[in-house]
Structures are given as structure tokens and as C-alpha cells.
Amino acid sequence: MESPLKVAVLPAGVKRSAPASVLDVPGARYAQGAAPAGDGRGGFWLAWEEYPDAVANSGSIRLAHWSPQGGWEAPKTISPPGFRDLPEPLPGFRVDTSSVPAIAVSNGVPHVVWASADSGRGRIYLWTPKGLRTLHATGGDQLLPAVAPDAGGVVVSFSQADARTGRIDRLLWRWGRARVISSAPSLLRTDRFFDGRFLGWMSGLTWFRGRVLATWPDVRQGSRGAISAMTARVS
């Protein structure tokens, strides 16, 4: 079954209204995980993962731009030829994963991040029109990235899983360095509710009163040794 993308354009300043138009996204036939970001000029960028067919296990990351003056520009593939989706399940865990992208526009330039296993390990990649880079090339498999504009670029958060210990930490990348921001590791193997098979896509990143505000899914040990249900953590 095909899964094309459509974008509803709503009238400005109207709280409740039918869409002024519905846009068909070109080149989005077997699409998953669409992420939009305004371009600051009345248009927007849209990133998503496009698969070759309905049953493929790996696709490619696409980027398209729409403006009210010129409509759609031709979408382009921004992931490298060796793009590989994160494996399902994640090695050492039972959880399914995803390589769908996140996007932010900083200084008028789109910045797209995603997790993929191109090198054999899950790594976070950052694409800009200047090129592609790996953000943090050490440690276990990385997943669930989020991105927000920052002075001169972007700030990125992501999770990193250690198959040996079963812990998942949350890291923040800024100015070329990554550091752990979670106060305790997430213990996905101990999640009795989902049996360690589910990790929600609740990661987000924004600025609030001059500080970076990050959210992510978390399963950790409580003060009395009990394992809590999965929740969204904020740092």
C-alpha cells in the first residue's frame, strides 16, 4: 500500500477553518516520518524517509521546499548512497527503531538530522547544504534525534544505547561536543509494561527562557528500586 504525503495549508490567523489548500508532496510515494520547518519567508522545508516500495526495510532521506510564489522545488535525496536504516530490533535490545528525520531552519538554512547505521553502528548525521557530518562517532548505537536552531547553527539531542549494560543515556550536542544530560540511564530491558519492546518517539528540543529544553522517552529505576512505566523526561 502506498503512503503519499500531503500538507494542509491553513489560513493565517484563523483558529478553526478548513484548509485553504492541500498540497501533494512530489516524490513522496512510500513515505514515513515527515518533519516540516518554516523557512521564514512564508514557505517551508519538508524532510522525510522515502522507501522504494511498501515492504522495504531501508529507504533514503529526502528534502523538499515549497514557497507560495513558486510552489514545490524538485525534492532531493540528502542521505548518502550507503544509507542503512537502524536495525530492528536494536542490537542488544528488543525495541524497534526508526531512521526518520528531524529538521530545523537556522539562519535561513535547513538542518536535517537522522539516525542510521551506515557505518555498522547507529550514528546521528547532520546535513546542511554545505555537506554531511557525523556528530558523535563513539559509544553505542544512537537513535531518536531532535534538533533546534542555535546561534550559528543547531543544537541536537539524541539517545545512546549500550548493548552490554542495557542502559540508554540522553546526550546533547552543541558546538561540536556531546555530553550526557539525563540524570540517570533509561533501563529499557526492565520495562515490565511493554516488555522492552517499545520506546516512544517522544524526543523534542526547543529553547525556553534562554535555556535548551529537551524531552525524550525514559524508563528508569525509582527511589525504592521499582521500575517506573515509560514516561517522557524533561531536562
The rounded average pLDDT for each run of 10 residues, N- to C-terminus, in the chain (235 residues) is 90 75 94 94 96 92 96 96 92 88 96 96 97 95 96 93 92 94 85 75 86 85 47 53
Give me the domain span that covers residue 34: 6-234
**pLDDT at res. 224:** 43
85, part of any domain: yes
**pLDDT at res. 235:** 57
152, part of any domain: yes
Which among 14, 8, 9, 50 is positioned nearest to 30, based on CA atoms? 50
Question: Rounded to whole angstroms, what are the CA distances from 191 to 177, 194, 202, 224, 225?
Answer: 31, 6, 17, 16, 13
44, part of any domain: yes
The pTM is what? 0.91
1, part of any domain: no
80, part of any domain: yes
The two most distant CA atoms of the chain are separated, in Å, by 60
10, part of any domain: yes
Total domains in the fold of the chain:
1
175, part of any domain: yes
